[in-house]
Copies of this chain bind each other. A is one copy, B any other.
């Protein structure tokens, strides 16, 4: 199986239309048809059911689509990483959600910079749930992520620390004076529905709460009395005056981990991980 064949197959499998796929690939349709037939012959399996009006995936095609996407991003990752490894100054891309892990991040960067032979660390600020893709297609070398919110599937991880969560409320809210609350107290506020964050697919779950993408948006909407949220302690550490944070006793604990692609062989990544676990 060759990358070219895989690229062609993934295009057709995603478009479910030979003409459109060929256009997207920048080739004519006949060689595309022929390549797919050839791939099917090599594998000894039909990948697509097609009549002249409709193209659908077979069971086997479905599997190959998932595997093929992973392979294609692994290939672009390999290209990027190889080229960056050849750069004169060794550098390292660390992906973090904006506004995340403020203090930890500072300490980590300082401690790593003090290492002998430390590489330049570039920060890649990303939205929630993007870490995984960034690591898998080689745009980032390491990431800090928050379990169980972010998925670490297919990544190697090392736990840095675990913390509780706090409810963030308008300072004037009745619950804001409490020293602690429970999840039920917070989710049951009809006038203050919980904020909704985008899911792994980038779309928001159904619900009454406001749609937010980052902490700044969130805090503004809470201050306006439009929503509330339960977030990790450290993220609620230094709040605006008009907001209050109250520990939520029964909220699931949040674990901050450092994550990297499992076959990474960069010295800089290994160093950064070592420094991080010693903090």
A residues in contact (CB < 8 Å) with B: 1-4, 6, 43-47, 58-71, 74-75, 77-79, 81-83, 85-86, 153-156, 261-266
Contact = CB atoms under 8 A, between A and B. Distances in A.
Contacts of A58: 86
Contacts of A61: 82
Given A43-B86, A66-B264, A67-B78, 4 more contacts: A45-B82, A45-B86, A64-B85, A66-B265
A70 B2 contact: no
A46 B64 CA distance: 33
B154 A1 contact: no
A61 B149 CA distance: 36
Contacts of A264: 66
A83 B156 contact: no
Contacts of A265: 62-63, 65-66
Nearest to A69: B263
Contact of A71 (B62, B71, B85, B154): B71
B156 A156 contact: no
Most B CB within 10 A of own CB, among A66, A77, A83: A66
